[in-house]
């Protein structure tokens, strides 16, 4: 019965929710284009083999990003997942993240994906928590480092003279970034506490939350999840440092490749001089997107791109580059997930039925 409920949830998202982020994102782009579009400017752009080369490299960066995720899942599952299973889970995970608000993400559904590929529910929860922990650890470490390297005035002083060494607290992007960073920092503390310090305390918190009347019927399931989580946490805590270093290295390469996408997209058409600043602002952009209420940050991402990276792009081209960026880094997951999801659901649930028939 639980499997059927999850199946219904995913199926509903399959068709309807894929449309919402596309409409929102393209709507914002259309609005911004009608304000900034100048056909004469685009006549100055020449699409050459040089352009094609760097566009290809930008797609390669996305592939490296996904390969990093796949390798990390293979490490965290301790080889219990095949490479094909890791690919399916990551693509479906990205799909679910693309159709849910950035503030929610696809983590909850990811537990379902991992569980249906063969891990126990508690171990699936622990693996997903570990991936989230590593992702947020990257942000928590890199954000203050980038502020020290490029200075806060250059990161946030949009529209202010770059020569002024003043942190612009009046800029809305500063507050978006700080709020997003605080949320990530608190999250990483909770996950670290649950995985490495006191999993029993996390189990108690789950059971306390599931005392609420409208979710009380799942309290027994949460008790089992908590027990499995304790057992898996015990295993994770015994892992050598090399295990976590390898998992974090995969995370580092994955996110770093993701942030180089815009650099190569800009190189396809323009001369770029401040590569590291563009990289730093992209990381801050993703922290900001945490507070976006729209699916996959649609609309908000395009708007922030034009405002936050606009100074590195010739006037009039920022909106178009925001659209190209999303076409490379976001929309493919909507369509890949839409293709994989029906086959994956059919395969996993037919496998479950076969196993139940053999038991009966």
Return the bridge partners of 295, or none. Answer: 101
pLDDT digits (tens, 9 = 90+) for 281-319: 888 887 777 666 666 566 677 777 777 777 787 766 777
DSSP string, 156-182: H-TTS-TT-----TTSHHHHHHHHHHH
Task: Write down the pLDDT at residue 3.
Answer: 46
Q: Is the dihedral of CA 305, 309, 310, 313 positive or negative?
A: negative
Q: Is the dihedral of CA 119, 215, 98, 254 positive or negative?
A: negative
- CB contact at 8 A, 90 and 106: no
At which residue do the structure tokens 């590195």 appear? Answer: 312
More confident residue, 245 or 107: 245
More confident residue, 188 or 61: 61
The contacts of residue 131 (CB under 8 Å, 6+ apart) are 69, 72, 73, 76, 110
Domain of residue 268, residue span: 2-359
Question: What total number of domains does the chain contain?
Answer: 1
- CB contact at 8 A, 234 and 227: no
Phi, psi (rounded to 5 degrees) for 358: -65, -35
Task: Give the integer Cα–Cα distance in Å for 2 and 12.
Answer: 16
Task: Give the integer Cα–Cα distance in Å for 185 and 136.
Answer: 8
Helices (DSSP H) in 238-317: which residue ranges? 241-259, 261-267, 275-288, 300-308
pLDDT band at 335 (very low <50, low <70, confident <90, very high): confident
Task: Give the integer Cα–Cα distance in Å for 13 and 17.
Answer: 5
């Amino acid at each position: 019965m639980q499997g059927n409920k999850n199946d219904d949830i995913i199926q509903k998202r399959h068709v309807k929710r894929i449309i919402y982020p596309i409409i929102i994102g393209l709507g914002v782009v259309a609005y911004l284009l009608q304000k900034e579009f100048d056909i004469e400017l685009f006549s100055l752009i020449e699409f050459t083999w040089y352009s094609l080369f760097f566009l290809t490299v930008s797609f390669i960066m996305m592939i490296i990003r996904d390969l990093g995720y796949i390798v990390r899942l293979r490490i965290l599952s301790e080889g219990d997942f095949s490479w094909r299973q890791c690919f399916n889970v990551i693509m479906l995970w990205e799909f679910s993240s693309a159709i849910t608000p950035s503030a929610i993400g696809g983590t909850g559904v990811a537990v379902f994906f991992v569980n249906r590929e063969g891990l126990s529910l508690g171990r699936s929860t622990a693996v997903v928590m570990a991936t989230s922990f590593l992702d947020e650890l990257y942000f928590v470490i890199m954000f203050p480092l980038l502020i020290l390297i490029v200075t806060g005035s250059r990161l946030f002083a949009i529209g202010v003279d770059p020569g002024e060494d003043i942190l612009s607290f009046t800029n809305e992007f500063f507050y978006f970034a700080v709020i997003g960073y605080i949320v990530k920092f608190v999250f990483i503390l909770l996950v670290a506490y649950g995985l490495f310090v006191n999993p029993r305390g996390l189990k108690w918190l789950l059971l306390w939350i599931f005392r609420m009347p409208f979710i009380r019927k799942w309290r027994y399931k949460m008790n089992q999840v908590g027990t499995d989580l304790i057992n898996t946490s015990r295993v994770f805590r015994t892992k050598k440092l090399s295990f976590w270093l390898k998992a974090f290295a995969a995370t580092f390469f994955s996110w770093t490749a993701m942030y180089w996408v815009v650099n190569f997209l800009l190189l396809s058409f323009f001369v770029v001089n401040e590569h590291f600043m563009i990289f730093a602002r992209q990381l801050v952009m993703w922290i900001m997107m945490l507070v976006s209420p729209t699916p996959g940050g649609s609309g908000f991402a395009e708007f922030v791109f034009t405002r936050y990276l606009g100074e590195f792009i010739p006037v009039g081209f920022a909106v178009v580059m925001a659209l190209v960026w999303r076409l490379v880094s976001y929309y493919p997951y909507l369509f890949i997930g839409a293709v994989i999801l029906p086959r994956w659901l059919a395969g996993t649930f037919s496998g479950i039925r076969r196993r139940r028939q053999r038991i009966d």
